[in-house]
Amino acid sequence: MTAGICTVLLLVASNIFMTFAWYGNLKLQQMNISTSWPLIVIILCSWGLAFFEYSLMIPANRLGSQINGGPFSLMQLKIIQEAISLTVFTAIVALVFKGEPIKWNHIVAFGFIILAVFFAFLNTGKSEPPKDSTEITATTENPQQSDSDTKL
């Protein structure tokens, strides 16, 4: 499996955890499961889910980034992530939060996100990853120092 496909699959899985971390508490409340839970418990449960989100998101970004030899620039990674995030969110709303309507303006907005992905990949040549800013090039000669200065 290519790095690009692995990156996308990891991002999809990560976004499933993210969506449940952010919005799962609302479903639990809707089902009368967490109505009496203190807010701190709900926050801690969400953080627990977010741990799994980050456990997938970080490897996805490292694998997919051109900085590490992957196929995507940082901008492309972010735009892919946002498109996946909205796709996963829409699927979860449709499947879990039944009754939440998806209106024409939501579809148009989603279409613009897909266009953003298209434009992010438009006319992309293989760009060089940024060089490490800590890299130091050492020279053995000082161009301002003459031979007579070096002889004492």
In a domain, 134, yes or no: no
Name residue 77's amino acid.
Answer: L
And the tokens for 71? 């196929």
- Domain holding 115, by residue range, is 3-128
In a domain, 146, yes or no: no
Number of separate domains in the chain? 1
pLDDT attached to residue 97: 86
Cβ neighbours of residue 12 closer than 8 Å, sequence gap 6 or more: 84, 88
In a domain, 26, yes or no: yes
Where does residue 99 fall: left (phi above 0), alpha (psi -120 to 50 degrees), or beta otherwise? left
pLDDT tens-place string over residues 1-53: 899 999 999 999 999 999 999 999 999 999 999 999 999 999 999 999 999 99
In a domain, 140, yes or no: no
pLDDT attached to residue 127: 59
pLDDT attached to residue 5: 96
pLDDT attached to residue 90: 87
Distance between CA atoms of residues 80 and 75, nearest Å: 9
Distance between CA atoms of residues 79 and 113, nearest Å: 8
pLDDT tens-place string over residues 62-94: 999 999 999 999 989 998 998 899 889 988 988
Statement: residue 141 has pLDDT above 70? no
